[in-house]
Amino acid sequence: MDSIIVRGNGPLKGQIPIAGAKNACLALMPATLLSEEPLTLTNAPRLSDIRTMTELLASLGAEVTALQEGKVLAASCHGEINPVADYDIVRKMRASNLVLGPLLARLGHAVVSLPGGCAIGARPMDIHVDALTALGAQIELRDGYLHAKTQGGLKGAVHEMRFASVGATENFLMAATLAKGTSVLKNAAREPEIVDLADCLRAMGAQIEGDGTGTIEIQGVDRLHGATHPVVADRIELGTYMLDPAICGGEVECLGGRIELIESFCERLDAAGVSVEQTKAGIKVSRKNGRIRAVDVVTEPFPGFPTDLQAQMMALLCTAEGTSVLEEKIFENRFMHAPELLRMGANIEVHGGHATVHGVDKLRGARVMATDLRASVSLILAGLAAEGETMVSRVYHLDRGYERVEDKLSAVGAHIERVKGE
């Protein structure tokens, strides 16, 4: 397995281009199952998860071709469709469950394996099942697979989710576009990725209102047509690279970034003593003066602080002045990076869903192991702030969500390299 070596760094300076959003693209790609006409996605990220979704869609009968070095995805599903999403592919990535709604809408039946992905606690499918059942689907779990079918197709309905699940919102949204009648989803997720999916579906002919709010209304149509759609900028990659100059000093401009994508994150950075400025090209970030100040963080659904930036924020706060408390309210078991940061000299106490971080003067380089996608990049950030050399192993997690991280960080002056494993 590959490893990443990071050496303690001085100030960073330059520009980092932000790729299209992984989580948005993974929801957009299954939308090709809803139409016989081509769907083209521009500004696509070049990640292993995108390749996994390509493999899954191909197994279902869709064609996905990567163009312009992977930045454009041309998809089509005009032939015979296989309704079975097999375990061997689905286990690799949780977002694979997003084929369930489109398959039900297009075919009226589907068999989808329970998904895999990062080991960051229970992320049950029952919210998805409840949402699709409200539209008339009959779903049962047998031998690790969800067996779903409809009687005469999906039908519009009003459904309120018990939790604002992003994935369940996306599954409901795609399924409802071809359902008969009007569907209303209450307590819907509000993330930018939901708005991006709705924009794409509207370009395909769907009738959707209210995306970006807690209530989304969908008027079902008979068919969807092809479209070309640009993937929204990745707000998690954006937030991650915004932390680079906060940790190392200097000034970095994240090209394509918009503050409204991560406003709550920017508010916490401001409180910690980090300057965030919207420019014509993106977001410019630098320290205001001196040492970072301790701040408290609570992860919440959008527009709250993103759970996918919690690990990276912890890396910053390890050397802050004072004591910070991070509360994880989205996923259980998402502080697995804390023991690895302790190996680097951090002072962290974890109690259930709370982590207390007592800032230290300096971190020390060490051999550490990535436990999940966001934890892996948090250890790289910590390595940039540490004295000496840090080796991060098991970085296959990293490649699921960050495009060419070594190249992007090296371009602004970071001392980082990848070591190929056997």
pLDDT for 150-161, tens place per residue? 999 999 999 999
In contact, 390 and 416? CB cutoff 8 Å:
no
In angstroms and rounded to an integer, the radius of gyration of the C-alpha atoms of the chain is 21
pLDDT at 117 over 80: no
pLDDT band at 396 (very low <50, low <70, confident <90, very high): confident
Q: Computed from CA positions of residues 305, 308, 310, 312, in that sequence, does the dihedral angle turn out positive or negative?
A: negative
Find the helix or strand (DSSP H, E) in which 100 lies. Answer: helix 100-107
Amino acid at 362: K
Amino acid at 320: A
Residue 42: strand pairing partners: 230
125 phi and psi angles, rounded to 5 deg: -90, 0
| Strand locations in 267-322 (E) | 274-278, 282-287, 297-298
pLDDT band at 233 (very low <50, low <70, confident <90, very high): very high
The crossing angle, in degrees rounded to 10, of helices 100-107 and 166-176 is: 10
Amino acid at 121: G
Taking the C-alpha atoms of residue 32 and residue 15, their distance in angstroms, rounded to an integer, is 34
pLDDT at 302 over 80: yes
Taking the C-alpha atoms of residue 240 and residue 172, their distance in angstroms, rounded to an integer, is 30
Look-up: residue for tokens 């059942």?
133
Question: What is the average pLDDT across 337-351?
Answer: 96
Taking the C-alpha atoms of residue 322 and residue 293, their distance in angstroms, rounded to an integer, is 7
pLDDT band at 124 (very low <50, low <70, confident <90, very high): low
Mean of all residue pLDDT scores within the chain = 94
pTM of the entire predicted model: 0.88
In contact, 83 and 111? CB cutoff 8 Å:
yes
Task: Give the single-character DSSP code of 179.
Answer: S
Q: Active-site positions?
A: 118
Tell me what pLDDT residue 7 has.
Answer: 95
Compute CA distances 22 → 95, 166, 304, whole Å.
10, 13, 19
Percentage of the chain lying above the pLDDT 70 cut: 98
Length of the chain: 422
SS3 336: coil
Q: Buried b vs exposed e over 30-53: b needs ≥16 C-beta within 10 Å?
A: bbbbbbebbbbbebbbebbbbbbb
